[in-house]
Amino acid sequence: MSVDCAYYSRGVREPHEGMTLEEAAAVPRRGGNYVWIELKEPSEQLMAEVSSHFGLHELAVEDAGSAHQRPKVESYDGFDLIVYKTARYDDRNRQVEFGEVDIFIGVGFVIAVRHGAAGDPVRARVRVEQHPELLKVGPAAVVWGILDMVVDDYLPAVEALEREIEDVEQAIFAGHDDLTERIYLLKTEINELYRALHPLLAPLEAMERGEFEADPGLRRYFRDVADHVRHLQDEVIGQRDQLAAALDANLSMVSVRQNEISAQQNAVVKQLTLVATVFLPLTFVTGFFGQNFGWMVRHIDSATAFFATGIGALIVSCIALYVWFKRGGYTTDAQ
């Protein structure tokens, strides 16, 4: 848990190092003066303290106190609650980590409550403070700075997922193992990314239409962020379609490999059947003439009789089998 308070007077950050919540609530917050408070994983006690100092509604405080809120904009008496989903790609685990930023904006204050991988507040401050002319407008400029950093962090995540999809496509046609599970997990991440991105458009488009009170100059910056969100959303939609095609291709390749395996197994079984068929009559002939019947003992008493009856029967059996295989087309298949 961390707390960072900054006081801005007419677009310039005042040197109030280590400002507490009590001091932030006590400074003048009118006429272009406001405080920007950053909270990281706040406790219930800290959220209750913030609520008492800035007059926040208990329902809004309850929503912001824990993550897993859907992206939204809600209006209360004296302030608005804006919820953003954040995304960051974890290279080590090869997955997208999602976080949440809950922003209270009212007259003279902006309070950002961050959960999980919710971006870097220092980068957001540096980004906004590079535009002092926007900071003069009021707390809405801070909202733009935070949102701009949130959207910028989406781009590396989208690009990383694109590389993951390309790797999957190459693995599919390289004949690797079944990739259905990996494709399903990627599709789940992309769906979550879409559900985080898409709701950002509604408040941004409302800002473009002038439904929220904002300086015309600042409105152009929100329009730029909205364009980035639309571009990223189109990329994510394209990735979903790409993954659907990859899943179909993977299933087709798995089916082809299974058919090849079945064909190989059928060929082996057929060859074994042919061998067994060849040796069955030969075994019968040799077994028959190997019996010690009296007639055989009395009549097969010379080499001529042996070759005529024993070997001759084997040759006749082989010829009969060959004719049968020829008519049945087995010899052609064996070739």
Looking only at the bridges linking them, the beta strands covering 95-106 and 33-40 are: unpaired
Asked if residue 304 and residue 173 are part of one domain, the reply reads no
What total number of domains does the chain contain? 2
pLDDT of residue 335: 47
The pLDDT, as a whole number, for residue 210 is 61
Q: Do 280 and 306 have their domain in common?
A: yes
Assess whether 139 and 53 both reside in one domain: yes
- pLDDT, mean of residues 220-233: 89
Least confident of 52-61, 124-133, 319-328: 319-328
Tell me whether residue 260 is in a domain.
no
Place of tokens 């571009």: 231
Do 250 and 277 belong to one domain? no
Burial class (CB in 10 A: 0-12, 13-18, 19+), 183: buried
Q: Are residues 101 and 12 in the same domain?
A: yes
**Do 108 and 76 share a domain, yes or no?**
yes
Residue 261 falls inside a structural domain: no
- Quickly state the pLDDT bin for 111 (edges 50, 70, 90): very high
Q: What is the pLDDT of residues 237-250, one digit of tens each?
A: 998 888 888 888 77
Q: What is the CATH number of the domain that holds 68?
A: 3.30.460.20
Cβ proximity of 121 and 149 under 8 Å: no
The pLDDT confidence band at residue 122, using thresholds 50, 70 and 90, is confident
From 220, 255, 290, give the residue that closes a domain: 255
Q: Confidence band (pLDDT; 50, 70, 90) for 139?
A: confident
Query: What pLDDT score does 234 carry?
Result: 92
Cα–Cα nearest to 324, from 87, 316, 34 = 316
Pairing relationship of beta strands 109-116 and 33-40 according to DSSP bridges: parallel
Specify which of 169-183, 215-229, 294-308 reaches the highest per-range mean pLDDT.
Answer: 215-229
Mean pLDDT along residues 107-125? 84
Whether 188 and 288 share a structural domain: no
Mean pLDDT of the chain: 80
Residue 83, domain member (yes or no) = yes
On whether residue 291 sits in a domain, the answer given is yes
Q: What percent of the chain has pLDDT over 90?
A: 4
Domain that residue 322 falls in: 270-334
What pTM did the predictor assign?
0.70
Residue 135 half-sphere exposure toward CB, CA atoms < 13 A: 22
Cβ-contact 186, 164 below 8 angstroms:
yes
